[in-house]
Structure 1
Amino acid sequence: MNDPAAHRAAERAARESYGRLLAILSARTHDIAASEDALADAFARALERWPADGIPDQPDAWLLSVARHRRLDAWRHTRVQDAATQTLLLLAGEVDVGAADGAAVPDERLRLLFVCAHPAIDAAARAPLMLQTVLGLDVARMAGAFLTSPSTLGQRLVRAKARIRAAGIPFEYPQARDLSQRLQDVQDGIYAAYGTGWDDVDGADALPRNLTAEAIDLGRILCSLMPNEPEPLGLLALMLFCESRAASRRSEAGAYVPLDRQDMARWDPALLAQAEECLRRASGMQRIGAYQLEAAIQSAHCERRVGAPVPPEALVALYEGLLALRPSVGAQVSLACALANARGPDIGLQALDAIPADEVASYQPFWAARAHLLAAGGARAAARQAFDRAIGLSTSAAVRAYLNGMSERL
């Protein structure tokens, strides 16, 4: 039976609740891969049953109950009986009871994020593992963001899931001695999720997942979980500053609009106020961190809405502080642009030239920045070559059109 309403309900559950469901299933068994299979079976069953039986009052609870029973059936079939099986046998009816009395499915996503950040897991696999397990992103979509091929990334993720099960990594929040590094990895995973959704502004994904909202939601949960940690507040402030400008990133016709040309009337004042408050609270704890500095940079960019732009040298100082705390190619490129704005394009180009060539060969922001600075300095032929390189590396049609227009005007 083809029931559009049932299909929409299943898609909405997949988009909004996949990570919550997978986290609960995985927490009992420490087997993420098997839990993913059980959850996939549950969604397939929903598409079969909901058109005939109707959409349940608690779709999440229905899916979790079916997935748990599918997992138990698999154990019974293989005659595996261990402590985890016995635990699941006792818990199998939990969600059925919860569905009857309207109880909500608990949110265990942050617990799963900390599992993915465990030091026993390869560092290169942690952030993509978070994105796949908690937000349901597929390997093909993530590979480009992590500068690797889908096959290589897929192998990393398979190994990471096997490692979690084999090592019996506990599904719990880390002890104080382990908190700093794992918190950093969790924050990086959340920000990677936000960046993936931010980059998808053109809507090329066939199944939009509203990743920016998911990431902000996780950021809020992290702040409530760790109210005395300043960096989660810095991360949340950073995402809120960026999100406040989301509506102004495209013109009415869909054309790309750079930050310095955006219509400030389209910025969201409520989100800006929330971001400033988060940054103020983080600053009050007097433990500076990279996400707080990034948020401060965004705050500085937003000050022109009240007619008080931050002096260019102040932005240079902020980027220098960010590089001192957490060096990255992105921060180096941004510092070069800040230097160009404060001291001229030649100084900015010198800073770009100081970055090792192999680190920026395929880094689109570097070539876009280089093209703009070359054009500002009058080197038109070199600027056109850099624009061509940036256009070729751009995944956004709107950004390609903008850069092509800049090149043609030369």
Structure 2
Amino acid sequence: MSDPHEAARAAEDAARRSYGKLIAFLAARSHDVAGAEDALSEAFATALADWPVNGVPRSPEAWLLTVARRKVIDALRQRRHDEAASEQMLWLAELALDDEDDSVIPDRRLGLLFACAHPGIDAGVRAPLMLQVVLGFDAATIASAFLVAPAAMGQRLSRAKAKIRQAGIGFEVPQGEALSERLVFVLDAVYAAYSEGWSDPQGADARRRNLADEAIWLGRLTASLLPDEGEALGLLSLMLHAHARRHARRDAQGQYVPLQEQDPKTWDAAMIDEAEALLSRANRCEGSGRYQLEAAVQSAHAVRRLTGRADWPAIAQLYEALHTLTDSPVAALNRAVALAEVQGPQAGLAALDVVAADVRMADYQPYWAARADLLARSGAVDGAKQAYRRAIGLESDPAVRHFLQQRAASL
């Protein structure tokens, strides 16, 4: 008899290491992600009953696949009377042929990621779907992390899986130009998951505590499976650069500390070094995209740990390139802030006036915070106070709101 705690740890390790790999393998032919999840869930339940008695198998991953595959076969046999009986019998035959060798499991997780981010899947559910089918998050946890009612999130996930099955969305990895076009959806979904975790800098919200780490794990997976795609490397570099500063965003009293005032000694140097190495690799790849440019911006901020000052001219140029590439008003806003550091607050305000024409800026808190700061620096106190009031009213984070209130009061 094995130690029950050892068996539980082995099952947990297998889930962390292989959950998405097993789901991708089981669902690759049938496109039935929900069926694969049910089968694997039963396999894990069987493992928790069997392993404490018979010991942890030499290859937990292969053991789980064997049991899960049998569960899939049993489920398909029970559905043979359906209209798709001939197709199901084909899957059964293929599963039976594969049954001879579980020692080497093909890694189809990249195809699973592309299925989750297929254009036919609603953009708002792509990131949650990845977290569930690749990492094994339950719907309630995902719902809490994305601040959605559990029932609503469960319905969205179920509909997305049904779409994959009914539309026959394949797990193939696109080739050529199609790869770059579809990869954007995958990377955007991973970054959306990271952004949700990033919004809780202190990890005080249990609903979001591990989301940023899990998104980085997805980013590592994508970059490892696509080592020659500069944008995959760029996204991982961007997330690591941001994550390296996670402990510097609040002081010991929990007060907000803006990037320019953070102490570089509190940044995670090893993580920054890894981010820099990834960005260097990305720059050697053909072409460049949004995530490589954004990672380069973070790198230009990180240089302050060596020189004492961010490379503002480079930051302004990078944001100009980002705005040209994406036509994003946020990129234009950040370029204006960088210009103020290079040419003075009046130059920054002139650039902000151009951005103000975009109606999306009317309720965008960073625009009003930037405007307030530049007006204050240029001596326009009344205008700065009005802009600060607008920024404070739009800010939901208590720490950032308190920071803005202090800046307004100092005028």
TM-score over 0.5 (shorter chain): yes
Taking structure 2 as the reference length, the TM-score comes to 0.78
Identity of aligned residues (%): 47
Q: Note the C-alpha offset of 1:25.
A: 1.7
- Cα offset for 1:20? 2.1
Bigger drift between 253-262 and 213-222 goes to 253-262
Larger Rg: 2
* Residues 1:159 and 2:159 are matched in the alignment: yes
Rate the CA distance shift 1:26–1:304 in 2: closer, same or farther, 3 A: same
1:82 to 89, 93, 96: 89
For the structure 1 residues 28 and 286, does the alpha-carbon distance in structure 2 shift closer, same or farther, using more than 3 Å as the test? closer
For 1:401 and 1:11, locate their aligned partners in 2 and report how far apart those are by CA, in whole Å: 36
- Structure 2 residues without counterparts, runs of 5 or longer: none
Asked if 1:117 is matched to 2:124, the reply is no
Distance apart, 1:290 and its partner CA: 1.3
Which residue of 379, 388, 392 corresponds with 1:383?
Answer: 388
SS at match of 2:29: helix
| Equivalent residues, number | 391
After the TM superposition, which residues 227-376 of structure 1 pair with which residues of structure 2 at under 5 Å, given as runs?
227=228, 229-251=229-251, 256-285=256-285, 287-307=287-307, 309-328=309-328, 330-342=330-342, 343-344=344-345, 346-347=349-350, 350=353, 353-357=356-360, 361=363, 365=366, 369=370
CA distance in 2: counterparts of 1:279 and 1:243, whole angstroms: 15
186-195 vs 315-324, which deviates more?
A: 186-195
Instruction: Evaluate the alpha carbon distance shift between residue 256 and residue 382 of structure 1 in structure 2; reply closer, same or farther with a 3 A threshold.
Output: closer
Residue-by-residue CA offset, 1:354-387 (whole Å, 9 max, x unaligned) = 3324x774x6655655665676653336524522
Find the residue that maps to 1:407 and give its secondary structure: helix
Aligned in 2, Cα 1:39/1:340: closer, same or farther, shift over 3 Å? farther
- Worse overlay, 176-185 or 136-145: 136-145
- Structure-2 separation of matches of 1:215 and 1:208: 12
Deviation track 1:18-60 (CA, whole Å, cap 9, x = no partner) reads: 3222222211321111112222223333444444444444433
One-letter identity of the residue aligned with 1:327 = D
What's the secondary structure of 1:188's corresponding residue? helix
Q: Take 2:312 and 2:339, find their aligned partners in 1: how far apart are those partners? A: 8
Cα distance in 2 for residues equivalent to 1:177 and 1:152: 36
Residue in structure 1 matched with residue 98 of structure 2 by the alignment: 91
Residues 223 and 236 of structure 1: CA distance in aligned 2, closer, same or farther (over 3 Å):
farther
C-alpha change, 1:268 and 1:311, in structure 2 (3 Å) is: closer
How far apart are 1:128 and its partner, in Å? 3.9
2:46 maps to which residue?
45
Change (3 A) 1:408 1:121: closer
1:89-148: CA deviation from partner (whole Å, max 9, x where unpaired): 2324533xx3xxxx6x55332121122333444455444433332233455665698898
Partner SS, residue 25 of structure 1: helix
C-alpha distance in 1, partners of 2:234/2:353?
31
Separation in structure 2 between the aligned mates of residue 321 and residue 153 of structure 1, nearest angstrom: 37
What's the RMSD between the two structures over aligned residues?
3.7
The answer to whether the 8 A contact 1:339-1:347 is kept is no
Structure 1 counterpart SS, 2:28 = helix
Distance 1:300 1:68, change over 3 A: same
1:64 maps to which residue? 65
Q: TM-score, normalised by structure 1?
A: 0.78
What amino acid sits opposite 2:92 in the alignment? T
Moved more, 110-119 or 334-343: 334-343
1:300 CA drift (Å) = 0.8
Quote how far apart the aligned CAs of 1:402 are.
4.6
SS state of the match for residue 28, structure 1? coil
Please state how far the C-alpha of 1:304 moved relative to its aligned partner: 1.3
**8 Å CA contact 2:14, 2:60 repeated in 1:** yes
